[in-house]
Amino acid sequence: MRFRISSAVCLSLSLLATGAASASAADPGGVSASTPTAPTTKKSTVAPVVPAGAAPVTARSANIAYRGPVYERTATGQVVPYTPPGPAQAAQESATGGSPAGTLAPVKPELLVPGTRARYVEGLAAAPMSAPLTVQEIVWAGDEIIGLPYIYGGGHNGSFSSPGYDCSGTVSFALHGAALLTMPEDSSELEAFGSAGQGRWVTIFSNAGHAYMTVAGLRLDTSAQDDPSNQQGPRWRPLRRANTSYAVRHPLGL
């Protein structure tokens, strides 16, 4: 299993809904009253260059339905047509897919779809066949925790397993699944992760209070903002309409 947990503490969901860029000391994700605050530095206003053919990071529509072919990579590495779970198993899963709340299922299928875009398949993300293996591993790692609840500080105990995750814990978990993080990072630390700007496949949005990521055209986020499902916790969601007030980073080369 691919597990890695952040030591982040996310901004309260009420602040997320307002798009706040930072948290106070009294709010989740805020700076401790005893912790000195670093001087504010002026950020560059020059827009980073977006790689040619980069996966989108915003969308006007929240429709992420997909009806094309879906495949599954087996334990032996073979790629075979995907067979959805039967009615009994599906009945135990949430409307957006994933494990019943509070459980972690390491046997979720490693789904694949043709092309360069990740697709939403019964609550999970199917990785694009044309993406690098590292990108596919990020998708499959994220799938492992889909359906678990949002827990304030959830998973920040040095263990890779948790009954729930917060925002940067979710991002760190997915990145670690592709061996891109060896130590957990909170949302503030993710502001300096990797390289600046939008990536070709993976883009991370982070500030002092919240973090989420887009992978090949899908968003992995604990916040339901711009998501009609209105469900909290780690989930694959539609892209947001805008990603303002966040530092924009990407893994080097991706």
CA atoms within 13 Å, Cβ hemisphere of 188 = 12
pLDDT tens, residue by residue, 217-250:
999 999 999 999 999 999 999 999 999 999 999 9
Distance CA 174, CA 179 (A): 9
Share of the chain above pLDDT 70, in %: 71
Q: pTM for this structure?
A: 0.77
Mention every residue, 6+ apart, whose C-beta is less than 8 A from residue 124.
Answer: 97, 98, 108, 109, 111, 143, 146, 236
CB distance 87 to 104 below 8 Å = no
The candidate with the shortest Cα–Cα distance to 106, out of 151, 148, 165, is 148
Which amino acid belongs to residue 120?
A: Y
- Residue 165 tokens read as 């995750």
Number of helices (H) and strands (E) in the chain: give both, helices first: 4, 11
Q: What would the DSSP string read from start to end of 42-87?
A: PPP-SPPPPPTTPPPSB-S-------S--EEE-TTS-EEE--PPPH
pLDDT tens, residue by residue, 60-97:
999 999 999 999 999 999 999 999 877 655 555 444 44
Distance CA 36, CA 32 (A): 8
Q: Which residue numbers in the chain have pLDDT < 70?
A: 1-48, 87-106, 155, 159-160
- For helices 167-177 and 133-144, give the axis angle rounded to 10 degrees: 140
